Structure formats: C-alpha cells, structure tokens
Structure 1
Amino acid sequence: MKKKTIGALILAAGAAATLAAAATPGLSSTLTKPADHPESGITWAAEQFASADVTAEKGLAEAVRRCMAKAGYDYTPASAGQSTVDLKHHIGFDTLTVEAARASGYASSKPKGPGEPAEGSELGKLFADPAFQRALHGGEPQEQNTVRSSQGTGMLAGGCTAEGITAVYGNANDYMRATGLAFNSLLVATNAAGQDSDIEAAVVAWKECMTTTAFPYSRPGEAVSAGLEAGGQKELKIAVTDATCREKTDFDAKLTAVLDKYLTTRMKELETEVAEVRQIRNDASARASALLG
C-alpha cells in the first residue's frame, strides 16, 4: 500500500465545472434580462442550485478512495463540487461581514478549494505518475474516457473516477448536471448582473464612506488587495473598516438586489432543470448515505 495521500485536486470533474457555458442546458447566446418584479430570496435559491450536495460529494470521494485502494493507492480525493456558492463573488465581490473581518481579515477572499499541487511535492509527484493517473482516470486512449452528451462535453470519466460517479450519481451525465453544469447555467445571469449600473452606485456609496476613514480606497477590490498585501493587524484594520462601510451603506444588500433582478428571470427559465437536478441530488445523496454507512 502506498503512502496515504489526501487529494488537493478535484476529481476528474473539475472539467465539468469549467465546461463552456454554451454547453449548458437552455443557455441563450444573449445575457439574461432583468425581471420587472424581482423575487426576494431568489439569489439564495440560485446559490443552493449552484452548490453541489455535500453528502453526495462525500460519498463520491469515499467511492473513489475505495477504488484507488484496490489499485494500491491510499488516496482520498477532495470534493469536486462547488459546496457553497456566493454569487456576489461572481459579479466581482466577496461577502464580508464585520464579524468575519474582525476574526480573520480577508480570509473569505483567498482562494478556496482544490488547486494545482506544488511541483515536486508529494502530491505533485503522485499526479505525475502515469500509473496513478490511469487508476484515477482510466487508460488510453483518452478519447474513450470523454463524456459527450446533450448536457456538455469535456469531462474525463474513466478509472476510479467513473466508478465513483456511477456508484453515487448513476451516470456521468447526471453528475455533470448536478455539479458543474448547474453552476454554469447561471452565468448568463451573473454576467448580466455584473454590468448593472446599480452596482457602480453601490460602489460609489461605499467609496464615500471610506473617504472618512484612514483607508480611502476607491473600490472594495483595492481594499482587499491592500489588506492581503499588508497582512497581520493592518489587514484586520483594513478589512474591518471595509466591512463597516459595507454595512453602513447596505452594500451587500444592494448587490443581492441586483442579482435578484437577473436571477428571477433565469431561475424561471430553469424551472424544469432545477427540479430535475434536485431529484438527481436527492438520489445521489441517498446512495452516498448508504455507501458511507
């Protein structure tokens, strides 16, 4: 048995989360139009739709771990799905509360989830091993391990990855729909929301507040960059000042109101897909629960 390794990379389905938006069900070539009567709370509902089922993802990781153990690798993959989605991040801003800023500065703005392993690290060497890759993703030719369906193309689905996906989600097509494609289907709405003039109005109000402080930055992104560069106590001071001005100007509420306009339209368009994805996740969660015991 090879040395235990905790995966810092997603399964094979990172590709599912980065499939071209054009592969998403019902995706229009034009950006989503704002609703005349935005639905309060729809942004939260959209974030739930964009987020993978936690139990299903744990079951998938466990199924892959067991399969890899049979191949001689004690390897536990990191979750591939977007477990918690903050759609404000996808219009250029991360949620920041005063409490979070006091506790950990701009931790919420730092990279999350799996990423590329450092070259030469134990994990990097493992992923450079062709035998490990064959066990995880399947053998050559690669063409035979590529999923093509009405939902999209581009995810490797061989080896233990395919075994895990089948065990929990039933098939790769449903897995793609319940993870990366669910998230991708909202991009036409978030991209449209990011161009809404109400966002700039919210930024201007925040800027006016910041001019009265020791950190007169023009945009939240400038404050975040300065805080992360400074680190330590100065990062905390900048973050708390930033978060306080966001609170005073209702910054996050204004961003959510913008998202509500576009997501009301988009979630209406996706009603059938949302219901079907919910059922896929429920079934996957049940299989995962049985697998996890």
Structure 2
Amino acid sequence: MRRLLWPIAAAALLAAGCSSAPDREAAAEKVPDPRPMGGVLHYTEADAAALHRAEERKVRECMANRGFDYSVVPAGAVERSTAKSPYGLLTPDLAAQDGYGLTVERLKETPADPNARRVSALGEDERLAWEAALKGAADGPREEIEIPDGPTVSVPTDACVTAARQALYGTSWDRNEYTLQALRNTIVQDTLDRAPVKSAERKWAACMRDKGFAYAHREDPLKELRKRLDAAGSDEVVLRATGREELRIAGQDADCQVEAGLAERIAGAQKQVEKALPAARTSVLNDFRAARRAALERAQARGST
C-alpha cells in the first residue's frame, strides 16, 4: 500500500491553484496514448494484478509438487507501472496524482515477502534447495534465448517460476516476450528520432522556458529531481518539499506536452516506424496475443471461483 504522504502533497498543491486551464484540460482529454505494436506489452492494472495472482498460484503448485511450502506473494501497487508511457508522456491527471512517480517510488514501502520468515528458519541445505526449486539451480539446465539484434537471455528451465509461466502462458512465452520487448525498445527509439517528434520536443522546451524551467531535454527534470531525492536521504521534510516540487514541475511538463502536440507527433511517427517493420514479426505478435488472451481468460476464470 502507498503511504499517505503523496495524496496529501497532491491535495496541497492543487489547493494552491496550480491546475490546468479548462481549455487545456479539454485538449488533454483527446491526447493519444501511443504504445508500440498496439499496446501488446501493455496491461491494465486489473489485468496485471490478475495475471500476477494466477502466476503465483502456479508457483505455489509447483513448489508443493516438489515438497516445499510457498506462500503467494501479493501483487502490490501496480497502477503507476501500468500507466507509464514508453515515451515518457504525461497527462495532467497523472502528473497531478504523483508527478513522475519518483518521490512515490522513493517513499514506497517494499511489501513484506510472506516467504522470508519461513526460508530464514531453514537450515542452509534446506534453504538452498528451496531457492533452487523456486529460481533454478545455479548449475541447472537453461534455455538460451537469442534476441534479434540484441543480447542472449539465459532462462533456467528447472525453476518453478519458469514452470509457472509456461503453465499459464505456454512454452513459447519467454522467447516471444523477450523478442517483443527488444522490438518495442527499437520502435520507441526510432520514433523519438523522427523529425516531427524532435520538432515537438523543441516546442516543449520553449514552453517550459516560458514557465521558468531551463530544460533542453525531457529527461532533464527527472535528472534534477533524482539528484534532490538523493541529497534528501531519509529527511522526510525535504522529501515532502521535493514531492511538492515534483508535482509542480510535472504539471507544467504535462501542459507543455499538450501545447507542443507531443503525443500526436509521437503517434504519427510510430505509425511510420511500424510500417517498415519486417513481416516476420507478425507471427510472433499473433502467438503472443493469443497466449496473453488465453492466460487472462484462465486467470479471470480462476479469480471468479
């Protein structure tokens, strides 16, 4: 669960009058949310939570079959990660809620692992056996997945986490997911390199300068805020102040993105980039979509019983 600091900070900022103009809010409602490959790698909060629960149940079943106790790990808060744009786009609502998510992430309490106490009570040999069953033995069998134009990923085939994924999604899931993740990264970079996007980013920078922020690149405010958070350490007063400043900057950032038409330029550029993709990617996409759809159906059916 999130701590209450952030909603309090957001309310304080909004009470100070730092909200978007009505016409800007109306324009923001029509802003696209471009995601590569039709958003095949994007999940709603509900879907992400349902799949996490289903996968954890499969892990528990696998561990039980190997003679080990395992408690399902809660999904925790996933709303920020599921809403996050691969292009760093912001909406006024998202910016007003928790800015860029930096202070929220810094203050977030890591959910307790329900297995930690059980594992710590085991003897060394038992603990190593439990961990090997869950994550795979260090010298155990592995599948080497070669990513097109990318690195080779090594996946343990004797791990319950791997068995759980395969039981839920199918045996080709890991290979297809890693392949599509690499392709998504390429699409994002190629899209951001397109001239219309570069032009919109220059308009964004000019808009931010008009608001008093000397940022040349959209990463600049994040870099500045991370430095402040690092300097703040555990000082909650400074963290609160940084959180309020993050809300202020992110709100202006979101407004300038709308004013520059950044999301529209990115959406248009992405379409052009995707038109040039090799046709061979179609079969991977179709397989992945089918596996994802079937997994969600299974997860939702189990969740309703």
TM-score range, shorter chain: 0.5 to 0.7
Give the aligned partner of residue 261 of structure 1.
272
Q: In structure 2, give the amino acid aligned to 1:87.
A: P
Which amino acid letter does the alignment assign opposite residue 208 of structure 1? A
Task: Give the match for residue 62 of structure 1.
Answer: 57
- What is the TM-score of this pair, normalised by structure 1? 0.64
| Paired letter, 1:147 | E
Name 2:199's counterpart in structure 1. 201
Partner secondary structure for residue 155 of structure 2:
strand
Q: What percent identity do the matched residue pairs reach?
A: 19
Q: CA deviation at 1:269?
A: 4.8
- Which of residues 137, 140, 143 is equivalent to 1:139? 137
SS at the partner of 1:235? Answer: helix
Q: Which residue of 2 aligns with 1:73?
A: 70
Q: How does 1:1-293 map to 2 (within 5 A)?
A: 43-44=34-35, 46-51=37-42, 54=48, 55-68=50-63, 70-76=67-73, 86-88=85-87, 94-107=88-101, 129-139=127-137, 141-142=139-140, 144=141, 146-148=142-144, 153-171=153-171, 174-228=172-226, 229=228, 231-266=242-277, 269-289=280-300, 291-292=302-303, 293=305
Distance 1:239 1:138, change over 3 A: closer
Please identify the structure whose Cα radius of gyration is greater.
2
Q: 1:139/1:99 Cα in 2 relative to 1: closer, same or farther (>3 Å)?
A: closer
Closer, same or farther: CA 231–190 of 1 in aligned 2, 3 Å? same
Give unmatched runs, 5+ long, in structure 2: 1-31, 229-240
Superposed displacement of residue 85, structure 1: 6.8
1:289 deviation in Å?
Answer: 4.2
TM-score by length of 2: 0.62
In 2, Cα distance between the equivalents of 1:150 and 1:102? 41
What is the alpha-carbon distance in structure 1 between the residues aligned to residue 298 and residue 271 of structure 2?
34
The number of aligned residues is 235
**Structure 1 or 2: more helix by fraction:** 2
Q: Say whether the 8 Å CA contact 2:100–2:246 is kept in structure 1.
A: yes
Q: Comparing both chains, which one has the higher relative contact order based on Cα–Cα distances under 8 Å and sequence gaps of 6 or more?
A: 1
TM-fit CA distance, 1:282: 2.8
Please say if residues 68 and 75 of structure 1, whose CA atoms lie closer than 8 Å, have aligned partners that are also in contact: no
